[in-house]
Chains A and B, each alone.
Chain A
């Protein structure tokens, strides 16, 4: 456990944000806001920013690679990722082309996170049948693994195009690859599949006590033995708001995180979130809402419990006011990440 490399990221779905006067930004303003936030995160030394892909009114980002391209031009060190790219409803060849382009423009700072997607709007939008939700992902992740080999492609599948001795451009420089991870929810099969291909996993732990995910962590490590893979890093992603005043952070969370969960719940048949459950998520569960010290303690504790080497904080959930978003990013970069590293380094990492 010595010299463990930790990664701390910021994730956003491009939630349409609010100006400080309370008026809602346009989607266009929200997109420019996220690019400016990436610049701030880069200045603060945060390791990574990752963008989700959605196709609905709450979220401005449907084409993450274009936003990442804009970010590449105004940042220097930060990794530019997705969380997640819904590969099932995309064309792996075109995804490869976009990411190898991003690889070039960002000097190799790109990272793709493949996922089945917990939202399914992209399926009818792009003409894919939800009936094939599993099959599409299974086939396309296999195609993706093949594309990364960098050789002329020979491919035949059920849902994908046939390729014969086909080279996909721009090719990656010799010896380089597209940094690939897989985002998973609660499906054991998703973890097993990712490890089979040798892709590190990031688990969305967005509700309940994180320790509940221990069986998935155990499965991840067990799967690496099963498939003779090197021990891959493991990450988690969760929602958070970090403000100097804990009560204010809770109030912002109730106003925006709860509202967003309830809005999504309408489509999914979830019940609205109760105050009791919301407070549980802050106290013991999966919301990282509070002061920098409170959030740092919670992140460090859960990373230790679950043997995580990466933590991604989802910021700006539900939109939030511009200054609230920026405060979370600043607190995360300036105070939380250094403190978490200190807590992890000084802890009982035996």
Chain B
């Protein structure tokens, strides 16, 4: 594809952090949240200089790689048809502080990114940027230029794999292709992989022992088999 135009939906802790990494990577970077452009622009000009504040509708129309940096529970309200054909990187997680005490959105049989992909059914969805804390994203990129941290992604769309790799590399990470989207369950909160900012061999080693952990056993119990 042509040079990615990154659109970051959400301008909170994660969105503003990703915006800085995206600008640093040299991408044209758009950002939007639910507020008016005039309310957000001065914040972005201060927090992530170089990123362009636009309306959410303009962002979806103009960007070709859209990163979801909003609460998982807000995804259902997105106008799915406007996302047709777009590459969507789903950075959301079920998080009780913002999504509610009881998770009625995703489960061990339908992972959160599968829920997102089902809603944005005409988009090309990959799970990415979800297993590292927003604060760690910048810390780890800065402090290990020589030993990049693994950033896992998962998708069912083989055609977007090269672009996802390019973007993750551009942002400062070592892309780790986990496989189909449903494998993204392995990256969700509660998993030993969640919160990890480690190198690719270390990440692989954690995957190798995942099924020895309670989380791994829950996956098998719910899905009837190991998913990877």
- The chain A residues found within 8 Å of chain B, CB to CB, are 120, 124, 129-131, 133-134, 185-189, 192, 207-209, 212, 215-216, 218-219, 222, 226, 265, 268-271, 280, 284-285
Contact = CB atoms under 8 A, between A and B. Distances in A.
Contact of B47 (A215, A226, A265): A215
Contacts of B48: 215
Contacts of B134: 186
B139 A188 contact: no
B138 to A, nearest CB: 6
B195 A131 contact: no
Contacts of A185: 13
Contacts of B61: none
Given A208-B136, A209-B139, 7 more contacts: A130-B97, A133-B98, A185-B13, A188-B12, A207-B136, A216-B47, A219-B43
Nearest to B48: A215
Interface stretch (B52-60, B82-90, B159-167, B186-194): B186-194
Nearest to A268: B195
11 contacts: A129-B100, A130-B100, A185-B13, A207-B135, A208-B139, A209-B139, A212-B138, A212-B142, A218-B47, A222-B43, A226-B42
Interface in B75-120: 96-98, 100-101
B195 A188 contact: no
Nearest to B188: A269
A186 B96 contact: no
Interface residues of B, number: 32
Contact of B13 (A130, A188, A207): A188
A102 B186 CA distance: 50
B77 to A, nearest CB: 15
Contact of A207 (B20, B139, B194, B198): B139
A153 to B, nearest CB: 29
B100 A269 contact: no
Contacts of A285: 139
Given A209-B142, A270-B133, A218 B46 contact: yes
The 6 A-B residue pairs whose C-beta atoms are closest, nearest first, are: A208-B139, A269-B189, A270-B195, A271-B195, A186-B13, A222-B46
A189 B46 contact: no
B16 A215 contact: yes
A216 B46 CA distance: 8
Contact of B12 (A129, A189, A219, A270): A189
B47 A219 contact: yes
A133 B97 contact: yes
B154 interface: no
B177 interface: no
B139 A271 contact: no
Nearest to A123: B101
Given A187-B13, A219-B46, A271 B196 contact: yes
A302 to B, nearest CB: 15
Contacts of A189: 12
Contacts of A186: 13, 134-135
A215 B20 contact: yes
A270 B136 CA distance: 11
A269 B195 contact: yes
A280 B143 contact: yes
Contact of A215 (B46, B96, B139, B194): B46
A207 B139 CA distance: 9
A115 B47 CA distance: 21
Contacts of A270: 133, 195
A134 B138 CA distance: 25
A282 to B, nearest CB: 13
B11 interface: yes
Contacts of B195: 265, 268-271
Query: Which of B11, B143, B194, B198 has the most CB atoms of chain A within a 10 A radius of its CB?
Result: B143
A101 to B, nearest CB: 31
A53 B48 CA distance: 33
A265 B194 CA distance: 11
A222 to B, nearest CB: 5
Interface string B1-33: 000000000011100100010000000000000
B101 A212 contact: no
Given A209-B142, A215-B16, A269-B194, A192 B135 contact: no
Contacts of A222: 42-43, 46
A196 to B, nearest CB: 12
A133 B73 CA distance: 14
